[in-house]
Structure 1
Amino acid sequence: MSSGVADQAALLVRHAVRPAARARYEDWIAAVTLECQRFAGFQGVAVIRPEGRDLAYTLLVHFDSHTQLQAWVGSVQRRRLVEQLRPLLLRAERLRAGMGLWFAPALAGARQAKPFKQFLLTFSAIYPLSQLVPALLRKLTEGWSLPAGLLQLCGSALLVWLMVYVVMPRYVRAVSGWLMR
């Protein structure tokens, strides 16, 4: 059972994979995903594959809560899978846990989206929502005698919730090729 949307968590994992081991690594990703599905709160794995001369894969593993994420990170199953992974890697994996990761956080050697692309992507998601959400709330609450400040608070909360949990995870995944170029 989820402990609430405000507690969602993600784990960012970077693996520098030996070129000759890429096919085996892809099989490993499938095995990890299957194993994660057995853990409560698992929401999915996003994979950013290396391009060009880059050898690093980036995995973003989402769980409903930090507690559920920690259960996966500390599990015997994950330790076993990491042991199987070691021969495929050029160096040890790099982990970073966090809440609400939209863009890949800074890691040594990690590719990051350029700030202007982050701005354009975020703006293009927020602007339509900032127009639609208040209009929808006004329409839904017509005839109610609610203070304007309460409607603004609800509108802001709904907009942020939509951005963090609905729009941005899907939007970033959809445009990741452009975003990371």
Structure 2
Amino acid sequence: MAITNHEPVTVSIARRVRPGKEQAYESWVRQIIAAVSRYPGHLGVAVLRPVPGGQADYVLVDRFDSLQHQQNWEQSAERAGFLQRLADLTDGEERIQKVSGLEFWFSLPEVPAEAVPHRHKMTLVITLAVFFLGMILNGLFGEVLHQLPLAVRVAVLSIVQVVVLSYLLMPRLTALLKHWLYDTP
């Protein structure tokens, strides 16, 4: 599925930071985030840091409102200057995935970047995950939440669900269901 110029784009960039260079890389990350934040169409960036015994790479997840705005940043001299400063901080090649819409929740490092799961399968997995997570949250915190005004209750549930889905549930469900989602053997 090709990315069109009229839909939001998410770019994930994974890099292996050299041992002992973590503080310098963290400084670089703060600086590049400040720079990209000034670009038109930038929607935000998340930094996923290495986890002991798990993910070994830093991953920057960058969102833009359109492919054109993302490409403007990607092709800018300012970004090129930042990338030149990485030579002493990182090992190996960066790994980049560029997706739009729902595909971000379904990207896996071991699946080729051009592979995209079927939209109806993504919709089914997300719907079931949101439903069951909503049921669990309401079961655990329903009495407390019911005392809050409707707008606050919906805001709290929405924020908690998006965070849990993005960082805990969807990565695990995607890995568990990858053969079905991607029709791989």
The structure whose Rg is larger is 1
Provide the TM-score with structure 1 as the length reference.
Answer: 0.60
Map 1:78-89 onto structure 2 (within 5 A). 78-89=79-90
Q: Which amino acid aligns with 2:32?
A: V
Task: Tell me the equivalent position of 2:120.
Answer: none
* Higher mean displacement: 13-22 or 45-54: 45-54
Tell whether the 8 Å contact from 1:86 to 1:92 is kept in structure 2 after alignment.
no
CA shift at 1:169, angstroms?
Answer: 5.5
| Aligned counterparts of 2:108 and 2:161: Cα–Cα separation in 1 | 15
In structure 1, what is the equivalent of residue 181 of structure 2? none
Unmatched tracts of structure 1, length 5 or more: 109-118, 130-165
Partner residue, 2:168: 175
1:12–1:96 contact (8 Å) kept in structure 2 = yes
Kindly provide the amino acid, as one letter, of the partner of residue 47 in structure 2.
V
**Corresponding residue of 1:49:** 49
Quote the offset at 1:12 in angstroms: 1.1
- Alignment of structure 1 residues 11-50 onto 2, 5 Å: 11-50=11-50
* 26 and 128 in structure 1: CA distance in 2 versus 1, 3 angstrom threshold: closer
Residue 90 (str. 1) matches residue 91 (str. 2): yes
Aligned residues: 131
Partner residue in 2 for 1:71: 72
Task: Supply the AA of the counterpart residue of 1:102.
Answer: W
- 1:87 to 1:171, Cα distance in 2 relative to 1, 3 A: same
Please give the TM-score of this superposition, normalised by the length of structure 2. Answer: 0.59
Distance of 1:39 and 1:104 partners within structure 2: 25
Contact between 2:105 and 2:166, CA under 8 Å: does it hold in 1?
A: no
What is the Cα-based RMSD across aligned positions, in Å? 3.5
